């Protein structure tokens, strides 16, 4: 097979994968709720986003949430990014039915992330449960302004919290 044919097949495979991601993302938005026992708060937290997660075959494997901390970086949990190959990140008041903005992103999991096989109270025990998603393009200021980005706590602040605070 010539290199032109290989290149064409790779391009077609890539385009098919992106279309599959977007279609799966639209299915995700129509069938799942990103909030459990919560209440809409209008524009109270515009930097909070929904994250659809896909594996290296572009199969949908789950979803989570995150917070935009810079124009193209979302902070999320390591258990969201751990098995992810690519993500679709959604912003807006109603991401399930009409996202204001959606963008592809590359997931990265903290190298010290570990998920214990034991269960505690029905939940997995996670250690180093941190992940980031680097977005393929910046979120427009009209969607989330820099003043609305999530802010990281001071170093050591989390150590001062009581368990499950």
Could you tell me if residue 39 is inside a domain? no
| Contacts (Cβ under 8 Å, ≥6 apart) of 3 | none
Could you tell me if residue 122 is inside a domain? yes
Half-sphere exposure (Cβ direction) of 73: Cα atoms closer than 13 Å: 9
Number of domains in the chain: 1
Could you tell me if residue 156 is inside a domain? no
Q: SS3 helix, strand, coil % of the chain, rounded to 5?
A: 25, 35, 45
Domain housing 62: 3-33+45-150
CATH assignment of the domain containing 66: 2.40.10.10
Could you tell me if residue 145 is inside a domain? yes
Q: Which of 91, 73, 79, 15 is nearest to 53 (CA)?
A: 79
Residue by residue, pLDDT tens for the chain (165 residues) are: 555 544 444 444 444 444 444 444 444 444 334 445 566 666 678 899 999 999 999 999 999 999 999 999 999 999 999 999 999 999 998 888 889 999 999 999 999 998 876 655 556 677 888 999 999 999 999 999 999 999 988 898 888 888 766
Could you tell me if residue 75 is inside a domain? yes
pTM: 0.70
Could you tell me if residue 38 is inside a domain? no
């Amino acid at each position: 097979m010539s290199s032109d044919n290989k290149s064409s097949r790779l391009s077609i495979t890539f385009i098919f994968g992106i279309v599959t991601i977007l279609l799966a993302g639209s299915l995700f938005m129509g069938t799942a709720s990103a909030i459990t026992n919560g209440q809409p708060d209008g524009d109270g937290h515009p930097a909070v986003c929904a994250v659809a997660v896909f594996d290296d075959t572009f199969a949908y494997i789950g979803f989570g949430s995150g917070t935009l901390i810079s124009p193209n970086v979302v902070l999320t949990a390591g258990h969201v990014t751990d098995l992810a190959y690519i993500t679709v990140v959604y912003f807006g008041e109603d991401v399930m039915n009409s996202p204001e903005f959606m963008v592809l992103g590359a997931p990265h999991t903290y190298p010290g992330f570990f998920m214990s096989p034991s269960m505690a109270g029905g939940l997995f025990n996670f250690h180093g449960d941190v992940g980031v998603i680097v977005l393929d393009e910046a979120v427009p200021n009209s969607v989330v302004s820099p003043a609305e980005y999530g802010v990281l706590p001071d170093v050591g602040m989390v150590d001062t919290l009581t368990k499950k605070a």
